[in-house]
């Protein structure tokens, strides 16, 4: 029987000692009230919250879980390094090995620099681009997420940061080649870089593949002007390709940002670059107390090896497709219609005829009680530990949730925590 008493008690304790009780992208503040905030453990594609409820997990820790939680092989590599030391007076041989592996795996990359979070990597890309070009402006797509530093924090969440900190970030429209062309014309000679995510993956929205005309224009405009093309692969890296995600459309960036999953959940991120940007990258000053710690690097080496040597990607594509087909079928059987967009390994699942998200909220909350962890407004992540049987279990839980929502459909109320958000978005 699903319960959440322990979570509720922990929330009360947290509210006393943690501002807001929780913060950042893992805060459940905008989610249905049933969502657990605190978790006890994970194994493979399953997670257990602090109340002991078990879920087939389709969030994968918002990305870091690529091969399965507590993967024995990756954990053994990390533990072996842990026994020798983690943060020492300098990096170990493993840093060179990891950089060599990346250069060997990602076709545009000739060098690698490591840091801790995706925001470190995107911020470093910005600094390298400015150092390389001597120009100030970063072009970023309106609404795209590149992290939570003052220069890139979402405008609706920018309390405590200054407009001046974003003064040299200019926004274009993703998939709109003309908006890029216009920006290059308007800011001629002042653009350091164009940032692009591999596909459009914004919260509360359908996902969109990159349009080839747009991607080609981004590469050409950068080449013509000497600006750098930066692919932010922090979220999608190694879930679409064993290479930079835009390799799939034949476009090589100058820099790419990586994070989340390349060490299967161990804390490390990376900036990769091409040879012609190497000199600028060697000049900038970037660092952190834990950036050179060896355990996550050992986990990275082991994960990259698995990425190169196994069919993890093909298996995720198969289970992702199975999930998409199964959910579409079950939704239809109960009179619902879903919009499942983006790559099947990173699905966004929204309901048609649900402008204020109340159906999606009711369904995902029911899914929790039925043993499956989906998300009502953020894209999700398949991991390589999902088997066909796990996905079937997720679909069966979803099926029971569709039935429960169908029964109470007329009584479902608007989501109070979203009305404020929609107002903020409308005002922005
Ligand atoms: N870029 C993208 C595309 C992301 O999805 C994220 C994290 N969701 C980041 C950058 C920032 O990564 P982090 O939260 O690890 O700083």
292 and 181 co-located in one domain: yes
Instruction: Report yes or no: 277 and 255 within 8 Å, Cβ to Cβ.
Output: yes
What is the tens place of the pLDDT at every residue in 232-285? Answer: 999 999 999 999 999 999 999 999 999 999 999 999 999 999 999 999 999 999
Could you tell me if the CB of 117 is within 6 A of ligand 1? yes
Are 18 and 101 part of one and the same domain?
Answer: no
User: pLDDT tens for residues 35-78?
Assistant: 999 999 999 999 999 999 999 999 999 999 999 999 999 999 99
| C-beta 235 within 6 A of ligand 1 | yes
State whether the beta carbon of 234 lies less than 6 angstroms from ligand 1. Answer: yes
Domain that holds residue 141: 72-309
The reply to whether ligand 1 has any atom less than 6 angstroms from the CB of 7 is: no
pTM (two decimals): 0.97
Gap from CA of 244 to ligand 1 centroid (Å): 16
CA of 260 to the centre of ligand 1 (A): 8
SS3 state of residue 282: helix
- Decide if pLDDT at 420 tops 90: no
Buried b (16+ CB within 10 A) or exposed e, 59-80: bbbbbbbbbbbebeebbebbee
Final residue of a structural domain among 276, 309, 342: 309
Torsion of CA 347, 351, 355, 358, to 10 degrees: -100
Q: How many domains does the chain have?
A: 2
Decide if 399 is inside a domain: yes
Q: 201 in ligand 1 pocket by Cβ < 6 Å?
A: no
Residues 296 and 166 both lie in one domain? yes
- Tally DSSP H helices, then E strands, for the chain: 12, 13
Q: Among candidates 252, 229, 231, 261, which has minimal Cα distance to 108?
A: 252
Please report the atom of ligand 1 found closest to the CA of residue 269.
15
Domain annotation covers residue 67: no
Q: How far is the CA of 402 from the centre of ligand 1 (A)?
A: 32
Residues 145, 258 within the same domain: yes
Residue 146 near ligand 1, beta carbon < 6 Å: yes
CB 145 less than 6 A from any atom of ligand 1: yes
């Amino acid at each position: 029987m699903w319960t959440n008493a322990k979570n509720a008690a922990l929330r009360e304790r947290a509210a006393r000692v943690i501002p807001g009780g929780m913060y950042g992208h893992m805060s459940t503040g905008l989610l249905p009230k049933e969502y657990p905030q605190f978790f006890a453990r994970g194994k493979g594609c399953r997670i257990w919250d602090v109340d002991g409820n078990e879920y087939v997990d389709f969030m994968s820790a918002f990305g870091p879980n690529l091969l399965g939680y507590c993967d024995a092989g990756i954990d053994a590599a990390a533990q072996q390094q842990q026994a020798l030391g983690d943060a020492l007076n300098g990096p170990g041989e493993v840093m060179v090995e990891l950089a060599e592996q990346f250069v060997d795996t990602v076709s545009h990359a000739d060098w690698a620099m490591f840091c801790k979070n995706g925001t470190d990597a995107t911020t470093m890309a910005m600094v390298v681009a400015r150092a390389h070009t001597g120009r100030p402006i970063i072009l970023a797509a309106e609404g795209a997420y590149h992290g939570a530093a003052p220069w890139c924090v979402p405008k609706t969440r920018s309390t405590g940061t200054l407009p001046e900190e974003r003064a040299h970030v200019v926004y274009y429209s993703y998939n709109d080649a003309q908006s890029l062309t216009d920006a290059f014309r308007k800011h001629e000679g002042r653009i350091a870089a164009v940032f692009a995510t591999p596909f459009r993956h914004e919260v509360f929205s359908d996902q969109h593949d990159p349009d080839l005309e747009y991607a080609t224009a981004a590469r050409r405009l950068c080449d013509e002007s000497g600006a750098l093309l930066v692919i932010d692969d922090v979220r999608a890296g190694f879930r679409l390709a064993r290479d930079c995600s835009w390799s799939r459309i034949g476009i090589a960036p100058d820099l790419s940002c990586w994070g989340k999953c390349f060490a299967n959940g161990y804390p490390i991120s990376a900036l990769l670059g091409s040879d012609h940007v190497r000199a600028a990258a060697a000049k900038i000053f970037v660092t952190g107390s834990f950036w050179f710690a060896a355990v996550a690097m050992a986990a990275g080496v082991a994960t990259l090896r698995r990425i190169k040597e196994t069919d993890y990607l093909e298996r995720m594509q198969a289970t992702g497709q199975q999930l998409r087909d199964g959910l579409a079928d079950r939704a239809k059987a109960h009179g619902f219609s879903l919009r499942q967009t983006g790559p099947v390994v990173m699905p966004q699942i929204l309901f048609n005829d649900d402008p204020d998200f109340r159906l999606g909220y009711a369904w995902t909350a029911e899914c929790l009680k039925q043993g499956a962890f989906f998300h009502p407004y953020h894209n999700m992540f398949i991991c390589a530990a999902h088997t066909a049987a796990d996905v079937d279990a997720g679909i069966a839980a979803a099926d029971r949730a569709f039935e429960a929502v169908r029964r109470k459909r007329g009584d479902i109320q608007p989501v109070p925590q979203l009305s404020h958000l929609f107002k903020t978005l409308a005002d922005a």
